Amino acid sequence: MADSIRFILNGEDIALSSLDPTETLLDFLRLKRRLTGSKEGCAEGDCGACTVLVGRIVSGRLAYETVNACIRFVGSLNATHVVTVEHLAAKDGTLHPVQQAMVDCHGSQCGFCTPGFVMSLYGLWLTSETPGRAEIERALQGNLCRCTGYEPIVKAAELVARMRPSALFDPLERERANIIARLKDLTTRETILIEGDGRRLIVPGSVEALATTMTAHPKATIVAGATDVGLWVTKQMRVLDPVVFINHLDELQDIVVTPEGITLGAGVSYSTAFETLRQEIPAFARLITRIGGQQVRNMGTIGGNIANGSPIGDSPPALIALSATVTLRSTSGTRTMPLEDFFIDYGKQDRQPGEFVECLFVPRPKAQSHFAVYKITKRRDEDISALCGAFHLETDEAGTVTHIRVAFGGMAGTPKRARSVEAALYGRPFTQATVEAARDAFDLDYKPLTDWRATAEYRQLTAKNLLTRFFLEVSGTPQELQRFATEEA
């Protein structure tokens, strides 16, 4: 058993054997290390002012990702390299090309958001040599600026991409071999336990150790990406004990693609899942680009989106429509169930004490099937769904519906199938008349609430209209399909 969290902060080795289990990285940086370049704007993962890079070894390679330091817990950082904005400029004060591009393109006014933007641009610069406009905008989705406007910042991203060959003093390029060696030294299969002030922080060394830990502490809070749990601490001031971190467990981060389907480990982040889903189920990948900002997608996991039981999580409707199953694990073994059965009622999931989500299996949609998922929000980027609907359809050669699954979030206390709608479509020709008749069945399936995101009437009408949209997309002319594709882009 180890008794400290060890990581590298810029160039410095850090070892913490006394640590509040839910101390945020941002508080640690600003209050304990006086690294005040990273700002606190919202403390809930929305504004990006706190953006830093976290590097870790993935399949032998050192990979850096942007994260929101305000909701990332220090306890989740073992064997990582934390890079803050202070690390970018050269010792003689020469700005990093990313910073210089922000100056040259007038990308900053009051400057409060600027360190966060710089770090997001830096994260992009490290991972993409020639990003296009869409990629730049995706990388900046999680950064808000209230005074400069985004155009100069996008121009800075375009400029710095062109400057790449002359960027000779990038610190992370220079340090790479050294950092890899140091991170390897810090990587451990031992479980880390830190106790203090009556609270415990546990970092299990393996999935087996996680199972043992959860049997011993069935009420422990599991933390994967912390994009939900972080807000329980920063916004709801909840005191959690014990806290069990799982984001480092390689066994939970496997993605296995077979002819039958895709298995996603519970710890796979949205960003990691993106490329596989883009190839296998493109509509699902497009949905992912609408979840949070890049920092949230780098941290947040699909497993967390399931386990939190939220009725407005975006991945459950898509996964239910695709007939996904979820596998839970404990010291007693594993059990697998259709994902829809996992959600029993509002705030209630079929998860026994000691169990955790191990993985999801998504059957491969048949080549001739149609799958679509629609997220309805007040603004396009970084917004939570008012409702999110997914449709999966197969028809035979005569156009008769042979398989249909419809599932929605935001329409009930859980993500839920529209079984009456499905019944109204199944076995019938997939025609305008069938769809018109099926629209009314939504009234049998859902009695949505009115809240600040949408009224009940809006939700019900929109769900019906999404079915019509799905029909038009499936049966429409190429021009109509093109119009929908353009709206989505």
Ligand X SMILES: Cc1cc2nc3c(=O)[nH]c(=O)nc-3n(C[C@H](O)[C@H](O)[C@H](O)COP(=O)(O)OP(=O)(O)OC[C@H]3O[C@@H](n4cnc5c(N)ncnc54)[C@H](O)[C@@H]3O)c2cc1C
Q: Mark residues 304-343: x for contact with ligand X by CB under 6 A, - for none.
A: xx-xx----xx-----------------------------
What residues numbered 312-371 form the site for ligand FES, per CB under 6 A? none
CB of 171 to ligand X, least distance (A): 28
Q: Mark residues 140-179: x for contact with ligand FES by CB under 6 A, - for none.
A: -----xxxx-------------------------------
Beta bridge partners of 221: 243
Tell me which amino acid residue 22 is.
T
CB of 387 to ligand X, least distance (A): 12
CB of 293 to ligand FES, least distance (A): 8
Do 350 and 338 form a contact (C-beta atoms < 8 A)?
Answer: no
Tokens of 461: 């009408």
Looking only at the bridges linking them, the beta strands covering 81-83 and 51-58 are: antiparallel
Instruction: Look at residue 307 and give the partner it binds from ligand X, ligand FES, none, a contact being a CB closer than 5 to 8 Å depending on partner kind.
Output: ligand X
Q: Is residue 240 a contact point for ligand X (CB under 6 A)?
A: no
Calculate the CA dihedral of residues 167, 131, 313, 378 and round it to 10 degrees. 110
Do 36 and 88 form a contact (C-beta atoms < 8 A)?
Answer: no
Tokens of 189: 């299969």
DSSP characters over 39-58: --SSSSSSS-TTEEEEEEEE
> By three-state DSSP, how is residue 442 classified?
helix
Q: Is residue 243 a contact point for ligand X (CB under 6 A)?
A: no
Do 248 and 261 form a contact (C-beta atoms < 8 A)?
Answer: no
Candidates 4, 23, 36, 40; binder of ligand FES (CB under 6 A) is: 40
Tokens of 165: 């060959």
Candidates 5, 16, 49, 222; binder of ligand FES (CB under 6 A) is: 49
Region of 38-46, 57-65, 86-94, 110-118 interacting with ligand X (CB under 6 A): 38-46
Please state, in angstroms and rounded to a whole number, the distance separating the CA atoms of residues 40 and 66: 15
Q: Is residue 389 a contact point for ligand X (CB under 6 A)?
A: no
Residue 10's closest CA among 44, 40, 34?
A: 34
Q: Is residue 221 a contact point for ligand X (CB under 6 A)?
A: yes
Candidates 57, 224, 387, 466; binder of ligand X (CB under 6 A) is: 224
CB of 135 to ligand X, least distance (A): 19
Do 173 and 163 form a contact (C-beta atoms < 8 A)?
Answer: no
Q: Is residue 206 a contact point for ligand X (CB under 6 A)?
A: no
Residues that bind ligand FES (CB under 6 A): 40-43, 45-50, 68, 70, 108-114, 145-148
